[in-house]
Amino acid sequence: MSTSVTASPAKSTGPKLRTPRKKHTPGKPKRNVLLTALMALMVLYTVVPLIWLVINSTKTQAGLADSNGLWLAHDFALWDNIRDTFTYHDGIFGRWLLNTLLYVVLGAGGATLLAVLGGYALAKFAFPGKRAIFAVVIGAVAVPGTALAVPTFLMFSKMGLTDTPWAVIIPSLVSPFGLYLMWVFAAEAIPTELLEAARMDGASEVRTFFQVALPLLAPGIVTVLLFTTVATWNNYFLPLIMLKDPNWYPLTLGLSAWSSQAQTIGGDVIFNLVITGSLLTILPLIAAFLFLQKYWQSGLAAGSVKE
């Protein structure tokens, strides 16, 4: 009698293989479709007007009327427009450009200097009334500049400073936001122990500020300088109520006067010069941002990494 034995399949004793899951690689953030779309819309909203300005600056007055705004015309007239912009009306555009540079150098530069000195003092020195000053600075940041324009005009009118460059420069020296920004930045960027060590070594307060504190404040200084420069360069309402003489106009007020002249019946049709002048007006700001962006980025990131 024979017995048949059925062999059972051998069982695997080795480790089971599993399909590896895709893991998120550290350092590569996940993409958010909604945020990407919103960012793309913001880029278009910012870039399209600039593209329109560049394209239309290459057209003649006749080309502006005959061609679409976002398409180049047959005649490339950018260099002719630039030449005509600087020579029109006895070269008044160049005078407006120099006036704007004057207001920026004295106004924005002075506002940055005062903000640095005041912010450092408020951040690193204890004195009576410090909290009251903090409340005043915060309140001043919340007040728009246009709300103070009329009282400032009445005060300057009694002092006989209207229709002079000082009517634009002196108000530009006050920057509550710049003071607050430097106050916060100096409090975090300058270790108190470092200042105490310099004082123990016999350094005076002036030497401590210039040799120890000022290099550490460089990113904040550049940030405040950019903010005050843009605010002074684009200032329109204050010069509008303070100045009557076109020889003291900044670029913003001068281009507005050209635009009004071009829309007046019987006046010179100079829309091509207005557009070209607008392009020339924003080029220095773009250059300033590109040149100082590395200092600005380091200023915004200061204090974000803790050792």
Domain ranges of the chain: 33-66, 78-301
Residue pair 108/172 in contact by the 8 Å Cβ criterion: yes
Phi, psi of 141, rounded to the nearest 5 degrees: -65, -35
**Token pair for residue 151?**
């009282």
Over 50: is that where the pLDDT of 65 sits? yes
Dist CA 95 CA 277 (whole Å): 13
Residue, of 257 and 25, whose pLDDT is higher: 257
pLDDT tens-digit readout, 104-113: 999 999 999 9
Dist CA 99 CA 116 (whole Å): 25
Dist CA 143 CA 138 (whole Å): 9
pLDDT tens-digit readout, 66-82: 777 777 777 888 999 99
What confidence score (pLDDT) does residue 7 get?
47
Residue pair 273/257 in contact by the 8 Å Cβ criterion: no
Please tell me whether the overall predicted TM-score, pTM, comes out greater than 0.85 for this model. Answer: no
* Dihedral sign from CA coordinates of 123, 125, 130, 136: negative
Dist CA 259 CA 238 (whole Å): 19
The burial of 271, by beta-carbon neighbours within 10 Å (0-12 exposed, 13-18 middle, 19 or more buried), is given as: middle
pLDDT > 90: percent of the chain: 56
CATH fold of the domain at 78-301 = MetI-like fold (1.10.3720)
pLDDT tens-digit readout, 165-222: 999 999 999 999 999 999 999 998 899 999 999 999 898 999 999 999 999 998 899 9
Phi, psi of 17, rounded to the nearest 5 degrees: -90, 130
* 19-23, 89-93, 152-156, 204-208: segment of lowest average pLDDT: 19-23
